[in-house]
Amino acid sequence: MTQTAVIFGGPSPEHDVSILIGLPATRALAAAGHDVAAIYWSKTGDFFAVEPDAEKEAFYDGVPRKSRPLTLGTTGFDGKKAPRPDVVVNCCHGGPGEDGTLQAALDLARIPYTGPTVAGAALGMDKFAFVAAVAAAGLPTLPRAVVSADAAEPPFAGPYIVKPRFGGSSIGIEVAADWPTARALAQQVVHYRAGAVVEPYRPDSVDLNIAARAYPAFELSAIEKPLREKGILDYRDKYLTGGGEGMASAPKELPASIASEIEKQLREAAATVATVAGLRGIARIDFLLYFNDLYATEIYTIPGSLAKHLWIDPPIPLTQLLLDMIEEATRRPSTHWTTAGADGSALRSAGSIQGKLG
């Protein structure tokens, strides 16, 4: 029997959310008859084999008791009774699990995995590059600018939303009344150390989200309209309300009651975003509706709860979503390396190495 490993956790602000994604995925696959290994990625960046039926309480103080240390190298996982997975289900939301770091390590270890490729993960995590990419594809976006202590004031007026350039789950989002405040925040908030971006603040806008998957065929989910309690939809709204089930239990309108022309526009835009981002696995694509103007804002390539709550039309249960992702991972490799053209002709035509030192 092939072995599936579910990796969750990770050294990121979304560590807890990732655990709450990985544990249900592990249970669902075990119930479906899979030989499942649960691999916990700690806040310090270390890997541990943990019990597949572990409860969330086991992680309150960090690494659960009786966990076995693992190392991930170019030949896979090593350690006492180390798992030898044929495929990895990546449930790491945010940080190095969603930005391409873990994907690159698994590529080098030649272990198939679910979710985005290195390139797709990196694009999705970079809020500045993502907007530039979808704008180049012809989609409307709100303008964004990089903010730092010495950055010039952007060509759009405040107030601004300040966001971590690299991050997820709306952690670190702030509203700044003016440019000096935005620059000050960029220097003070820990989540902005790797970079920050600003965009115009539109308090009267509406959030609209949709999930997408590319396998076994391209499909889009129902559209949801999260219901804000204040001007922005932040981490607390998404993950600390409704019993800790993330967006699945946060206040929402699902399916969203929107005009048919807006729904058509959003679905067409989501398909374009999926193409630009090289969709793999399940992603959630977020939009902002400002009166009658629709803007593409984010893509979460490993969304909280794997966006399972959005698959009501068509109705697809979590177990089936996971099984399809695993099949995609094994049938559609994440890497396409080739040595075509490396036939030795460049070596033969080159001069001596010593000569290149001059």
Global pTM reads: 0.92
Q: How far apart are CA 11 and CA 259, in angstroms?
A: 41
Sign of the Cα pseudo-torsion (338, 341, 343, 348, in order): negative
Q: What is the pLDDT of residue 225?
A: 96
What HEC string does 125-147 produce? HEHHHHHHHHHHCCCCCCCCEEE
Cβ contacts of 258 within 8 Å, gap of 6 or more: 208, 223, 225, 266, 289
The pLDDT of 105-126, averaged and rounded, is: 97
Q: What are phi and psi of 36, to 5 degrees?
A: -110, 130
Cα distances (angstroms) measured from residue 106 to each of 84, 96, 137, 141, 334? 12, 12, 30, 33, 10
Percent of the chain with pLDDT over 70: 94
Q: What is the pLDDT of residue 168?
A: 67
> Tokens in use for 182?
């935005």
Q: What is the pLDDT of residue 286?
A: 97
Q: How far apart are CA 191 and CA 171, in angstroms?
A: 8
AA identity, residue 135: A
Percent of the chain with pLDDT over 90: 83
The string of pLDDT tens digits covering residues 294-328 is: 999 999 999 999 999 999 999 999 999 999 999 99
The string of pLDDT tens digits covering residues 7-54 is: 999 999 999 999 999 999 999 999 999 999 999 999 999 999 999 999
- The 206-213 sheet, strands edge to edge: 252-253, 219-226, 206-213, 282-290, 293-300
The string of pLDDT tens digits covering residues 233-278 is: 555 555 555 555 556 667 899 999 999 999 999 999 999 999 999 9
The string of pLDDT tens digits covering residues 157-212 is: 999 999 999 986 578 899 999 999 999 998 888 989 889 999 999 999 999 999 99
Q: How far apart are CA 305 and CA 315, in angstroms?
A: 16
Cβ atoms of 239 and 296 closer than 8 Å: no
Q: What is the pLDDT of residue 41?
A: 98
